[in-house]
């Protein structure tokens, strides 16, 4: 059983922020900013490709509620919503989860570095995706 399933089952304590029949949200134990919240489906799914549409909708609606709660109650102007899908993408716990990261001006968190496409590369990517 994964660590998030143990948290969901009450075997490991957490700081719960939100809960309904399908979703649990709790504070990240190593936050990027205070209020950094993890939002997880109560049913175990390893990644976003595995989750059924009904549970995904419940998850996204909970993210929306929690994001608004963070803005209103913590006085932040914005937040990032992030989901790392697979180990190579930085997923550390193999249970689907979204991060809601409160943001402040000057908090030191920057955007990802961006890269451009080489000549013809974008066209090749689109061709592969549409094939």
Active site residues: 97
Q: Are strands 78-82 and 37-41 parallel, antiparallel or unpaired?
A: unpaired
Gap between the Cα atoms of 94 and 3, Å rounded: 9
For residue 77, give the nearest of 33, 111, 113, 39 by alpha carbon: 33
Rounded CA gap, 90 and 111, in Å? Answer: 16
- As a whole number of angstroms, the distance between CA 100 and CA 4 comes to 16
Cβ atoms within 10 A of the Cβ of 18, count? Answer: 15
């Amino acid at each position: 059983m994964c660590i998030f399933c143990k948290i969901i089952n009450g075997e490991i304590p957490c700081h719960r922020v939100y809960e309904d029949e399908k979703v649990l949200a709790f504070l990240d134990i190593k936050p990027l900013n205070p209020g950094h919240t993890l939002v997880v489906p109560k049913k175990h799914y390893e990644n976003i490709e595995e989750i059924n549409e009904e549970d995904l909708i419940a998850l996204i609606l909970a993210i929306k509620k929690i994001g608004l709660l963070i803005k209103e109650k913590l006085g932040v102007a914005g937040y990032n919503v992030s989901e790392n899908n697979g180990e190579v993408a930085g997923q550390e716990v193999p249970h689907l989860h979204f991060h809601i990261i409160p943001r402040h001006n000057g908090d030191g968190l920057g955007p990802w570095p961006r890269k451009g496409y080489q000549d013809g590369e974008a066209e090749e990517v689109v061709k592969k995706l549409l094939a």
